[in-house]
Each structure stands twice: as C-alpha cells, then as structure tokens.
Amino acid sequence: MMNTNANDPIDLVYTWVDDRFPGYRVLLGQYATNAHDRNPNRTRDNLDMLRYSLRSVHHYLPWIRKIRILSCRPQVPDWLVADHPRISVIHHDQIMDEGMLPTFNSFAIISHLHLIPGLTRRFLYFEDDMFAARPFCPDELMASDGHIQFYPRFSATPDAQYRHHHGKSPWNLALAHTNHLLDDVYGPTRRNSVNHVPLFIDSQAWGAMVERWAESFEITRHSRFRAMGNIASEYLYPHYMVNEGLGRLCTYWETYRRTAYVGLENHRWLNAIALAFQNWRQPMFITMNDNFDEHPNPKAVAHIRAWLTRRFPWPSPFERIPPGR
C-alpha cells in the first residue's frame, strides 16, 4: 500500500520544449516523416505558458517543495532563474538511454518521470499548458480514503480492436493499444477518457506500472515520435491505479467542478467566452491546449497573452525581471 500521508513533501515536474530554440526545428526535420511528426501544436511555445504556469504554482501552491523542468538539451528558458534553489532543469539525456535520443515523443519522455534524481515519492506532473487556478491543499488530490483521485470524462476511449487502425491519430492509436494492455490484465471493458489535467503521481506505483508492461514501454521509449504500439502513460496510470486499488475515479460532477480544459482556437471571441466561463467557475486546474494549427491568428494569440497576464500578474521568483521594470 502506498503512503498517503498528506504531510509528506511533494515536488512538481514539468515537461517543456520550445521549437523556436536554435537548431530544434532542423533536428526535428531530420527525423520527421509525416505531418503528425511536424505538428507544431505539441512543440510551440508562442504564448510563454510555462512562465505563467510557474506563477500560478508559486502563488496558489506554496506547499510545493521543488520544481523540475524536463526538456531536451540544451534548452533552458531564457527568462528562468536557473540557479534558484527550488527549481532545476533536467535534460532528457540525464534520465534516458542514449539510444532513445533525440526523442520528440511525449509518451517516451514521461515514461521516465519517476527516474528524475531526488524526486519526492509523490509529485504533481504538469505539462507547460497547465495552471493552478486557485489555492488547494494536497489532501484535495486524494479521496476520503487516502487514494489518489482521477478525473474521468463522459467520452469512452477507442477499443483495443482499433490499435492497428491506420486511420486513427497517434493519440487514439495509443489509447486503443493501452486499452488492449488493460484488457489483457484486468478484463475487457469500455473505459472512459480522463480529463487532460495535472496528474498526482506516486513514483513507486509509476515504476511498477512500467515494469508490468515492460515490453510495450520499451517499444514506446524507442519511438522517436508517437507511433503504433505506443503506451499513453497519462491514460494508463489512472486506470492502473484504480484497478490495483490505489486510486479512485471521482464523479463526473467532481471532474466538472475541479478541472477545466480549454481548446485555444484561432477565433478570439470563442477563446474569450471559454476563458470568461473558467474565470467564473474557479476550478483547481485549467489546461489551455494549443489548437491553433500551423498558422496562429495574431489577434487570438495577443488576446490569450493579455488574458494570461491579467490572470497571473504576479512574477514568480523563478523568472528574471526585464530591465526597466
């Protein structure tokens, strides 16, 4: 049984990359073979979201012990106070085998999260487009019985039979393959998707999960891009924890009340309505997913930047203040 003491220290891990970093797009182009591989939605940092996410964490979650930013070498945000004692940048080559690099596959990267040196037993995992939206305590991440809570959605995920379907996106192929693995161990069933929000991870359980499906994780880790036969750990982990008696799926109402997912579109007014609604709701977490495609609308981007500045106006101690401010 995992330790569920809410007073234990908790770290936070980000995954982040910026395709504007010199040489990154050239490197990606050397390995990319199709449009999915080149999709800028997954590597673009035109909104500086990591900066604002760090502001949200510092302001609302003062109980976080240390923060790790996992990225590809040699990337470090140019505005980051990299020598701050509470934050550090970890590069892929510090926790991944040389033969797996370079990688552009988030499935491969996050399968190594538990190997980050010095990480607390339990930690929060944020992607750089995720934000804390109000204060909350660690015990709000757990059910009344001490088990970690996860946030299901109404929608079901693709059945295992679709894991070899060439018409599916890499994400849906991974969901179908992950369902195949879960079916083999726990029996076939339809499973709900899980809301795309931060994960509260028990590192020992995460490591045990990787060991349970070692062969499929090895395939995933050696895939430079998302590919058929990959595991989506952010989907596998909640269902693994629930089936092992270590986690709980909360109610749909709790998913709605505590979490928010906003798909950012190239239409300013759509974004304005969606974000105003989230301001009114005050969930624990907000995820702002880049749906801009290849050509972001400058007006839509400017509107989102302005919203982020208003919503998270307090510079964190982790960012350098520009001269003259």
Residues facing 257 on adjacent strands: none
In the beta sheet, which residues pair with residue 290? Answer: 264
User: Is residue 155 situated within a structural domain?
Assistant: yes
307 closest CA partner among 291, 283, 286? 286
Judge whether 5 lies within some domain.
Answer: no
pLDDT the model gives residue 239: 98
pLDDT (0 to 100) of residue 79: 96
How would you classify the pairing of strands 192-194 and 152-156? antiparallel
Q: Is residue 321 in some structural domain? A: no
Please report the pLDDT score of residue 36 as a whole number.
77
pLDDT digit string, tens, across residues 191-228:
999 999 999 999 999 999 999 999 999 999 999 999 99
Beta-bridge mates of residue 71: 91
Q: Which domain holds residue 210?
A: 10-311
Q: What is the pLDDT of residue 6?
A: 60
Residue 277: C-alpha distances to residues 48, 197, 257, 286 (Å): 22, 17, 12, 11
Given this model, what pLDDT does residue 44 score? 65
Distance CA 225, CA 228 (A): 10
Triad 24, 30, 32: Cα angle to 5°? 95
pLDDT value of residue 1: 43
Splitting the chain (325 residues) into consecutive groups of 10 residues, what average pLDDT does each group show?
68 96 93 82 78 98 99 96 97 98 98 98 98 97 94 93 86 96 97 96 98 98 96 98 97 96 92 93 94 85 95 96 61
Q: What is the pLDDT of residue 154?
A: 93
pLDDT in the model for residue 3? 47
Q: How many domains does the chain have?
A: 1
Strands 285-290, 259-264: pairing is parallel
**Is residue 322 a part of any domain in this protein?**
no
Rg (CA), the chain: 19
- Look up residue 300 and give its amino acid: A
Residue 303 sits in a domain of what CATH number? 3.90.550.10
In a domain, 69, yes or no: yes
Within-domain flag for 323:
no
pLDDT at 291: 85
Counts for the chain of helices (H) and strands (E), in that order: 11, 12
Q: Is residue 4 part of a domain?
A: no
CA distance readout (Å), 46 to 290, 296, 297: 10, 9, 12
Residue 201 pairs with which residues in a beta bridge?
123
3 domain-assigned: no
